[in-house]
Structure 1
Amino acid sequence: MKEQTEIGKIKEGRYIVIEEEPCKVVGIATSKPGKHGAAKARIDAVGIFDGVKRSIVQPVSAKTYVPVVERKSGQVLSIAGTTAQLMDMKDFTNFEIPIPEDKRGAIEIGKEYTYIESMGKKKFD
C-alpha cells in the first residue's frame, strides 16, 4: 500500500517509492528556484528489501508516492535452510521469510521476532 505526497514534504529517515521499490531516504539536496523554473530536490535513498541505492531529481511541488511501512511481530514455527516460517501474532497467518546472514544462528523456533511489511514484501527487522 502506498500514499501520495509532495516531494517538498519528504524528510531524511522517512520512506519513498522509487522504481516501484520502497526505499529509506538517506539524503536530500534542494536547489533554489532559477530564472526559468521551480526549485528542484535530489533525493538519495536505499531500498528497504534489496539494499540498492537509488536517487531521483524532481521539482519540489511534484507528487510522489510514500509506502506504508508496518512493523509487526511473528512467532517462528520452523526453520528450513535459509528461510523461516512465521505466524503473525495478530491475524495468525503463516508465511515464509528469508533469514539474513547476520541472524542465521540467532533465530530460534518458538520465539517472537519483529518484521517489516511494505507493498507485499516482508523481511526481518
Structure 2
Amino acid sequence: MADHSDVDFETGHSGASTTFPTQCSTLRKNGFVVLKKHPCKIVDMSTSKTGKHGHAKVHLVGIDIFTSKKYEDICPSTHNMDVPNIKRSDYQLIGIQDGYLTLLSEAGEVREDLKLPESDLGKDMSTRFANGEELAVTVISAMGEECAIAIKQMSK
C-alpha cells in the first residue's frame, strides 16, 4: 500500500472543474463557451462548409460575462471547446460600504467580499438601496471569478 504521509489532503477541493469539454458543433447561440481563456456568452456563430482537406469550421463570437469584452475564435466542428461551469446565486443586499456589497444568502450567511459594479448597474444599485428599496442581487460565478449581474425589487 502506498504511503501518503507526504500528501496534504487539507488543501484539497471538491474536485468540481471550472470547465467541461463540449464538441464545438453542439454549441449554440446564447450558450456559454471559453474563448481566449475568458468565460463568454455566445452572441454569434457560423459554420463554414467542409473544405477539400477537412472539417467544417465554426466561427464563434462571444462577450465576456464579466467584462463585456468581445472575443472571437475559429474551431473545427469536431474538436472540443471548454464550456464554463456557471453558478447563479441570489442574495439580499443589506449594505454598501467602501465600494463593497454586504450580501445575505438564503442560508443566512453574510458575505462582504464582492465589489460594487463600476457600471450603470452599480450606480442604480447604490441609488435604489439609498432610497430604502429592498433589493435582491443576482451573482454569477465562473472560473474563479464572480460579479453581480442583476438586481430586482424583493417581493414583500
- Given the two structures, how large is their TM-score scaled by the length of structure 1? 0.87
- The aligned residue for residue 68 of structure 2 is 51
Q: Is the 8 A contact 2:92 2:135 kept in 1?
A: yes
| Partner Cα distance (1:21, 1:95) in 2 | 25
Q: Which moved more, 1:94-103 or 1:46-55?
A: 94-103
Contact 1:87 1:95 in 2 (8 A): no
Please tell me whether the aligned partners of residues 92 and 136 of structure 2 are also in contact (alpha carbons under 8 angstroms): yes
Q: Matched residues in 1 for 2:70 and 2:35: separation?
A: 10
The structure, 1 or 2, with the larger RCO (C-alpha pairs under 8 Å, 6+ apart) is 1
Counting only pairs closer than 5 Å after superposition, residues 1-125 of structure 1 correspond to structure 2 as 1-90=18-107, 92=109, 94-100=111-117, 101-103=119-121, 104=123, 105-107=127-129, 111-125=135-149
Structure 1 stretches lacking a partner, 5+ long: none
Number of residue pairs matched?
125
- Please report how far the alpha carbon of residue 58 of structure 1 lies from its aligned counterpart in structure 2 after TM superposition: 0.9
Runs of 4+, deviation exceeding 4 Å: none
Unaligned runs of 5+ in 2: 1-17, 150-156
Q: CA RMSD in A?
A: 2.0
* Distance change >3 Å, CA 15–CA 58, structure 1 → 2: same
Look up the SS of the partner of 1:11 in the other structure. Answer: coil
Offset of residue 79 of structure 1: 0.8
User: Of the two, which has the highest radius of gyration?
Assistant: 2
Greater per-residue helix proportion: 2
The one-letter code sitting in structure 2 at the alignment partner of 1:118 is: A
Q: Which has the higher strand share?
A: 1
Please give the per-residue CA displacement for 1:8-61, whole angstroms capped at 9, x wherever unaligned: 000000000112211000000110001111100100000000111000001000
The CA deviation at 1:91 is 7.3
